[in-house]
Amino acid sequence: MPDEYLSVDLIKQNTVTRVIGRNVIYLPVTTSTNEVARQAARERATEGTVVIAGQQTAGRGRLGRNWSSPPGSLALSVILRPQTSRLSSLIMIASLAVVHAIEKVTGLKSQIKWPNDILINNKKVCGILIENAWKGSGLDYSVIGIGLNVNFNPADYEEVANIATSLSMELGRPVSVLKVIRTVLMELDIYYSVNDVFTEWKKRLTTLGKDVKIVSGKTMVTGIAESVGLDGSLDVRCPDGVLLRITVGDVTFKS
C-alpha cells in the first residue's frame, strides 16, 4: 500500500494513546526524523511528540553509521522526557513495542537481538537509535528513533541485501504503513506506562545462550552471551571463564 495518502489526521485517527503521539509531525521525505525531533525538543516540543517520515535522505544508525530509508520503509522518532533512572529501559520499551506491533499487524513473530535490532528469520527488520541530550547534570530529553522495513525488497539495495528483510518480504504481500504506525504508537504508549519491562525484554532476547562475537570500537570479545543486567548491559562468559559486562557493541552469532 503506498504511503502518499498518509497525513497527521489519518495517523491520529483511531490511535488511542495517553502520551505518545499527542503531537504528530508527518514529513513524506526528510533528512533524519531523529534530527527533526531533536530540533523540536530543543524548541520545547511536548513529551510524546512524534516525527514520522516515509523516506530519509540522511538517516542515522548507531555508532555513527548511516541508515538507509528507501521508499516503503518507515522512520519514526519520539521525544520523551523520562526520569534519568528510566533511561536504560527505553531500548526495552521500544524493542517490545516493535515486536508486539509487528505481531499484531502481520502475525509475524520477531526477536530482539541485543542491543537494538529486531529480527525476523535471523534478518534485520528494524533498528532502533536512542539519543539523549543533557542539560547540566540532568536529562533534557531523549529521542527514540525507529527504522522499520515495511514494504521494500532488500535485495534491491546492495548494502543490506544479505542482512535485512522487510514485513512485506516475510509476509508475501504489502503491509499497511498506516496500521503499522498506529500500532507502534499505541504499543509504545503501553510499554512507556509499564514499570517492569525488563522481564519480558529478557525473555524475548534471541541473544542469550548463544556463542557470540562482540565488536566494540577496537575491542573484540567472544564467548557465550549469558545474561543481561537491569541496565540493559550484556554479560558474556569468555572462554577463560571470565564474565565480561558489555554495554555497547555489535553482536554477531557464531555458528
User: Is 61 a binder of ligand BTN (CB under 6 A)?
Assistant: yes
Please choose, from the candidates 105, 112, 130, the residue with its C-alpha nearest in 3D space to the C-alpha of residue 200: 112
**Span interacting with ligand BTN, options 16-24, 81-89, 127-135, 236-244, rule CB under 6 A:** 127-135
User: Is 207 a binder of ligand BTN (CB under 6 A)?
Assistant: no
User: Is 183 a binder of ligand BTN (CB under 6 A)?
Assistant: no
User: Is 30 a binder of ligand BTN (CB under 6 A)?
Assistant: no
User: Is 21 a binder of ligand BTN (CB under 6 A)?
Assistant: no
User: Is 75 a binder of ligand BTN (CB under 6 A)?
Assistant: yes
User: Is 146 a binder of ligand BTN (CB under 6 A)?
Assistant: yes
User: Is 65 a binder of ligand BTN (CB under 6 A)?
Assistant: yes
Instruction: Report the sign of the C-alpha dihedral through residues 155, 103, 68, 178, in that order.
Output: positive
Please give the distance of CA 3 from its chain centroid, rounded to a whole number.
20
**What is the number of H-type helices and E-type strands within the chain?**
6, 12
Least Å distance, CB 159 to ligand BTN, is: 13
**Span interacting with ligand BTN, options 139-147, 171-179, 212-220, 241-249, rule CB under 6 A:** 139-147
Query: Rounded to whole angstroms, how far apart are CA atoms 101 and 21?
Result: 15
Task: Identify which of residues 83 and 168 has a Cβ nearer to ligand BTN in the complex.
Answer: 168
CA distances from 164 to 55, 125, 139, 161 (A): 17, 6, 33, 6
**Span interacting with ligand BTN, options 40-48, 144-152, 170-178, 186-194, rule CB under 6 A:** 144-152
Q: What are phi and psi of 183, to 5 degrees?
A: -70, -40
Local structure of residue 45 (DSSP, 8 states)? P
Least Å distance, CB 121 to ligand BTN, is: 17
CB atoms under 10 Å from CB of 50, counted, come to 29
Query: Rounded to whole angstroms, how far apart are CA atoms 220 and 213?
Result: 7
Nearest to ligand BTN by Cβ — which residue?
127
User: Is 145 a binder of ligand BTN (CB under 6 A)?
Assistant: yes
Residue 228 C-beta-side C-alpha neighbours within 13 Å:
27
Least Å distance, CB 185 to ligand BTN, is: 14
Site for ligand BTN, rule CB under 6 A: 32-34, 56, 59-62, 65, 67, 75-77, 116, 127-129, 145-147
